[in-house]
Chains A and B, each alone.
Chain A
């Protein structure tokens, strides 16, 4: 089985099958680039991901392994269709996978999934963030996301007034 070494920003190396790695759009491109530039077709590619630390990279690979037999979703799909995909793809395993994570880790996972072009993982993590917003008040959302209001004076009141005219679609 052809393998590939994926190295995190903090130097941890993960040895995974190329078949698995190619389910990430980014890794697939990297492996192909390596093939073209390398004389030895048997050589084991080594890919350094400078933006993702080991803990997060491990989670991404773990997710990829669980979903390695899923059909690959086209990455450039119309964004508005995203909703349907995520609902379809979210399994009990995904829910258990995400459950213990704090929001900081989820944010890192979103960045990683986006960087490595793993659409399925990006969808479920974004959906998780969505679930933390839906049905909550502004203050609850700020608390959940550790955000502070940066509106000055009556700006916030102004925003609420503007939004009064919007109705649920």
Chain B
């Protein structure tokens, strides 16, 4: 570079301050700040306050902690904050809990308060200062209709909405009609914990269901994620299911879908396989065929919901582009597992099957024949769980029926023969993490001490966890890990409750592991 200009010394100080930046550049700078720093920056000066206020990145909690949903989940904890907060602050994410007054008996008032709320909150309904900033809204408990209306009004950039179904109990059907959220990407609706005791009294289904159905008559052109739980105390699950199916039919942009049936009040298993049932299943198949999902999760945890289980399992079979399939249900027919593998072998990366087994004949466990599975050569995560089934039928899974691409393997509650268990450790070249739970510890079943010794010598799999599945007398002093450089040589030991957990340390030798989550997903992903 030629420069013929005269240049002063470079580090001459400049008397200019950040005030010379126009708002748009200040805004650009603040984009790099995290939420906490944005809050600090907002207190620096009036101008900074204005700029921060008009930005995305602030999250506000309003309302009370929820009575209706699990207390142990952090997101359901709501310090009561003044509703006028949102009309003073730029907010992009807003979590709304149950709306009742502090220092008052909550539960009964929760239900009555739609009439009483003016006494608590005044006449003004809360409105967002900058509705266009709002990207995410959560309603975790009952909210008065006019509050809801004024909060969802003009949030045109809304991308994510989440409801606990109790949120619907004070709303009017008309306010859930034609919600024009063109950018909405994700919708979640929870119904859990509502089958229990007192809640069904305060949140009656006949006030909630019509609203849920009305909400589901909307169309959101950008929707890609839809999580749905069946609501509590549902008497007319057919109407509800049909509404969900027709919602699915209208949203062919969906990539992720999860449906969860954990209600168990009513038994739907009588007169199974009627003509109407077949019609219903056909409808589910047609709907499914029109979707190209990448992630599908089906959870039917209630053994009394036979029809719903059949319906949603039929839905699974039609998918052809799945990358993740998570199926938790009883009565999973072998044909369905084969169909999932057959239809999705080119894309399937994660496959989770968990089966609840009934004791009567019609609900018996199916044998998992993995031959179809071995075709899925992109499969990395495979989990297969049974419930301690009778141990008369061994050999349900063996290594040669699994694809060689598996990185993460979990098997639980299924009997494994000694030789089959051995092969799982040595015949899968990519395997990095394995978890075997209740695969037997007597007779021909379980993992032998010899196999464990070989695994420790091989030092190949990164994380090994074995629960209640060691067959034979485990050495009292443990098994040496082969690292002679350390005195005394570390040993892998069997912990209380027959827990054996070890992982490779930095030196490449196994060490005992403290308890940790078994689901360290994505750790070994590309």
Consensus secondary structure, chain A interface: helix
Which listed residue, B41, B44, B47, B93, touches A169 by the CB 8 Å rule? B93
- Interface positions, chain A 123-169, Cβ under 8 Å from B, are 126-127, 129-130, 133-138, 141-142, 145-151, 155-156, 159-160, 162-163, 165-169
- Interface positions, chain B 150-171, Cβ under 8 Å from A, are none
Question: Does chain B have a CB within 8 A of A50?
Answer: no
Question: Does chain B have a CB within 8 A of A58?
Answer: yes
A108 CA to B15 CA, complexed, in Å: 10
Residue-by-residue, is B50-78 near A (CB-CB < 8 Å gives 1, otherwise 0)?
00000011111110000000000000000
Question: Does chain B have a CB within 8 A of A34?
Answer: no
When the two chains form their complex, are residues A14 and B59 in contact, meaning their CB atoms are under 8 A apart?
Answer: no
When the two chains form their complex, are residues B37 and A58 in contact, meaning their CB atoms are under 8 A apart?
Answer: no
A58 CA to B56 CA, complexed, in Å: 35
A107 CA to B40 CA, complexed, in Å: 21
- Interface positions, chain B 88-134, Cβ under 8 Å from A, are 88-89, 91, 93
Pick the most buried of A86, A108, A166: most chain B CB atoms within 10 A of its CB. Answer: A166
When the two chains form their complex, are residues B14 and A105 in contact, meaning their CB atoms are under 8 A apart?
Answer: yes
When the two chains form their complex, are residues B33 and A147 in contact, meaning their CB atoms are under 8 A apart?
Answer: no
When the two chains form their complex, are residues B14 and A104 in contact, meaning their CB atoms are under 8 A apart?
Answer: yes
Question: Does chain A have a CB within 8 A of B507?
Answer: no
Residues in B whose Cβ lies below 8 Å from that of A156: 43
- Interface positions, chain A 81-114, Cβ under 8 Å from B, are 82-83, 86, 100-105, 107-108, 110-111, 114
A86 CA to B42 CA, complexed, in Å: 23
When the two chains form their complex, are residues B32 and A145 in contact, meaning their CB atoms are under 8 A apart?
Answer: no
Residues in A whose Cβ lies below 8 Å from that of B42: 159, 163
Pick the most buried of B16, B32, B46, B60: most chain A CB atoms within 10 A of its CB. Answer: B32
When the two chains form their complex, are residues B16 and A104 in contact, meaning their CB atoms are under 8 A apart?
Answer: yes
Which listed residue, A102, A141, A145, touches B40 by the CB 8 Å rule? A141
A167 CA to B12 CA, complexed, in Å: 41
Question: Does chain B have a CB within 8 A of A12?
Answer: yes
A54 CA to B61 CA, complexed, in Å: 50
When the two chains form their complex, are residues A107 and B39 in contact, meaning their CB atoms are under 8 A apart?
Answer: no
Nearest A residue to B56, CB-CB: A80
When the two chains form their complex, are residues A111 and B7 in contact, meaning their CB atoms are under 8 A apart?
Answer: no
A50 CA to B21 CA, complexed, in Å: 17
Residue-by-residue, is B6-46 near A (CB-CB < 8 Å gives 1, otherwise 0)?
11101111111111110001001111111111111111111
A14-B1, A14-B5 given as contacts; is B16 within 8 A of A166 (CB)?
Answer: no
Question: Does chain A have a CB within 8 A of B242?
Answer: no
A168-B35, A169-B58 given as contacts; is B14 within 8 A of A12 (CB)?
Answer: no
Which listed residue, A80, A82, A103, A163, touches B43 by the CB 8 Å rule? A163
The smallest beta-carbon distance between A115 and chain B, in angstroms, is 10
Question: Does chain B have a CB within 8 A of A32?
Answer: no
Which listed residue, A86, A141, A166, touches B32 by the CB 8 Å rule? A86
Question: Does chain B have a CB within 8 A of A47?
Answer: no
A145 CA to B45 CA, complexed, in Å: 11
Question: Does chain B have a CB within 8 A of A79?
Answer: yes
When the two chains form their complex, are residues A108 and B14 in contact, meaning their CB atoms are under 8 A apart?
Answer: yes
Please classify how large the interface on chain B is, using the bins under 10, 10 to 19, 20 to 34, 35 or more: 35 or more
Residues in B whose Cβ lies below 8 Å from that of A55: 7-8, 10, 12
A52 CA to B425 CA, complexed, in Å: 67
A134 CA to B40 CA, complexed, in Å: 9
A105-B14, A107-B16 given as contacts; is B40 within 8 A of A137 (CB)?
Answer: yes
A146 CA to B88 CA, complexed, in Å: 27
The smallest beta-carbon distance between B250 and chain A, in angstroms, is 28
Residues in A whose Cβ lies below 8 Å from that of B5: 8, 11-14, 54, 58
The smallest beta-carbon distance between B523 and chain A, in angstroms, is 22
Which listed residue, A102, A147, A165, touches B81 by the CB 8 Å rule? A165
A108-B16, A146-B17, A150-B46 given as contacts; is B32 within 8 A of A126 (CB)?
Answer: yes
Nearest A residue to B5, CB-CB: A12
When the two chains form their complex, are residues A134 and B20 in contact, meaning their CB atoms are under 8 A apart?
Answer: no
The smallest beta-carbon distance between B167 and chain A, in angstroms, is 20
Residue-by-residue, is A27-40 near B (CB-CB < 8 Å gives 1, otherwise 0)?
00000000000000
Residues in A whose Cβ lies below 8 Å from that of B59: 166-169
A3 CA to B1 CA, complexed, in Å: 10
Residue-by-residue, is B426-453 near A (CB-CB < 8 Å gives 1, otherwise 0)?
0000000000000000000000000000
Nearest B residue to A122, CB-CB: B28
Question: Does chain A have a CB within 8 A of B271?
Answer: no
When the two chains form their complex, are residues A162 and B12 in contact, meaning their CB atoms are under 8 A apart?
Answer: no
The smallest beta-carbon distance between B185 and chain A, in angstroms, is 15
Which listed residue, A62, A102, A169, touches B35 by the CB 8 Å rule? A169
Residues in B whose Cβ lies below 8 Å from that of A103: 17-18
The smallest beta-carbon distance between A100 and chain B, in angstroms, is 5
When the two chains form their complex, are residues A149 and B45 in contact, meaning their CB atoms are under 8 A apart?
Answer: yes
A110-B25, A126-B32 given as contacts; is B6 within 8 A of A12 (CB)?
Answer: yes
Residue-by-residue, is B330-371 near A (CB-CB < 8 Å gives 1, otherwise 0)?
000000000000000000000000000000000000000000
Question: Does chain A have a CB within 8 A of B3?
Answer: yes
A165-B61, A165-B81 given as contacts; is B6 within 8 A of A130 (CB)?
Answer: no
Question: Does chain A have a CB within 8 A of B506?
Answer: no
When the two chains form their complex, are residues B12 and A145 in contact, meaning their CB atoms are under 8 A apart?
Answer: no
The smallest beta-carbon distance between B381 and chain A, in angstroms, is 27
A133 CA to B45 CA, complexed, in Å: 13
Besides A11-B5, A16-B1, A147-B45, 9 new A-B residue pairs in contact (Cβ under 8 A), listed by A number: A54-B8, A100-B10, A102-B14, A103-B17, A126-B31, A130-B33, A165-B89, A167-B60, A169-B93
Q: Which 7 A-B pairs have the closest CB atoms?
A: A12-B5, A104-B14, A130-B32, A169-B35, A168-B35, A15-B2, A104-B16
Q: List 6 A-B contacts (CB under 8 A).
A: A13-B4, A104-B17, A126-B32, A141-B40, A149-B44, A160-B43
